[in-house]
Amino acid sequence: MCFKEKTVKLSEVDASDHSYRITTQETVDDLMDSIGHVGVLNLPLLLEKKSRYIILSGFRRIEACRRLNRPDVNARTLDSDTKKLECARYAITDNAFQRPLNLIEKSRSIRMLSNCFSDLRRLSKEMSILGVPCHESMITKIKDICSFSKPLQNSILSESISLPVALELHKMSKDVENGFVELFSVLKLSVNKQREILTLIKEISLREDIPMAEILEELHLKRILNDEDLDKNQKIRKIRSHLKQRRFPAITRAERGFEEHRQNLKLGAGIKLIPPDNFESLTYFLNFSFKDLKELKHLKKIFDSLIKNPSLKKILD
């Protein structure tokens, strides 16, 4: 790396140019404490551009110095004729060898290099050389997420929305995207439950011919989401139950009827009556569990009385 070390006036540094920004971290309080005590140990890297400088690495260090009212900063500088590919390499490497990059930072790195490497195989190899191993299939998935809305990017970083779901939400309208971001940021769901709720709302929208955004803004969902007396798991159960009832009203009625009649059977421990999945068939399952012959004989008596119970007939009818 051919660079010079020099003292640069902060007024000459264009901190608004984020062409080479990799880091997603914006807070600088920790750096202000460190720089205030021992100064800048790892010098920022700047690209000279006529009467100003562009930051290649060290955005947070520069900002910390500004907030400390420093007039200048010691930095490494590159000549203005440095090629864009070299600038990108320096920016990525400086970040990647300090810490593992998150998905957004990897995406920014890919976008930076993609102008120079149209071939995915070569791009993947370059990423590995620079300390950011990334398979070709992953490059395709995450290349554009650095251009997603800020709330959606933050949800990916906080892992309140999985990458596959985020990719799907990005294709939707902004009001729908924002509605799901709010919902999922509160519920902190697993990937499967995120997919389940997304699918349910999509299907309700089609079934009832109303916009998805309208469903997400409905008062009943908002009340559950904002109810401070409910913990996260209770909110999840209530919202899933509400959406399932709305999406599958016939199945919901069948489930309620079945549960009411099953309670009337008074089966007790040792016997379980299991309905068919979604009541799509006529096959029920009766499970017995026992430890010895005495318990089995007792279960036989219950079974004999069960056959005569009118509630069982209602279930099977």
Q: Are residues 85 and 57 in the same domain?
A: yes
Q: Is residue 82 assigned to a domain?
A: yes
Q: How confident is the model at residue 298, as a pLDDT?
A: 86
Residue 258 lies in a domain: no
8 Å CB contact between 262 and 213: no
* Mean pLDDT across 270-281: 79
Q: How many domains does the chain have?
A: 4
Please say which residue of 193, 222, 247 terminates a domain.
247
Residues 48, 17 contacting (CB under 8 angstroms): no
For residue 9, what are the CA distances in angstroms to 14, 65, 80, 235, 287? 11, 11, 17, 54, 79
The domain boundary residue, chosen from 147, 180, 215: 147
Can you give the residue range of the structural domain that contains 118? 100-147
pLDDT in tens, 110-137: 999 998 888 999 999 999 999 999 999 9
Token couple for 109:
């790195």
Same-domain pairing of 107 and 200: no
Task: For residue range 19-77, list pLDDT tens digits in order.
Answer: 999 999 989 998 999 998 888 888 999 999 888 999 999 999 999 999 999 999 999 99
> In terms of domains, do 91 and 40 share one?
yes
Whether residues 5 and 82 share a domain: the answer is yes
Q: Render pLDDT for 278-302 as a digit per residue (tens, 0 to 9).
A: 676 788 888 888 888 988 888 888 8
174 and 123 share one domain: no
Q: In 10 A of CB 63, how many CB atoms?
A: 18
The reply to whether 131 falls in a domain is yes
Q: CATH no. for residue 14?
A: 3.90.1530.10
Contact 142, 122 (CB under 8 A): no
Query: Is residue 14 a part of any domain in this protein?
Result: yes
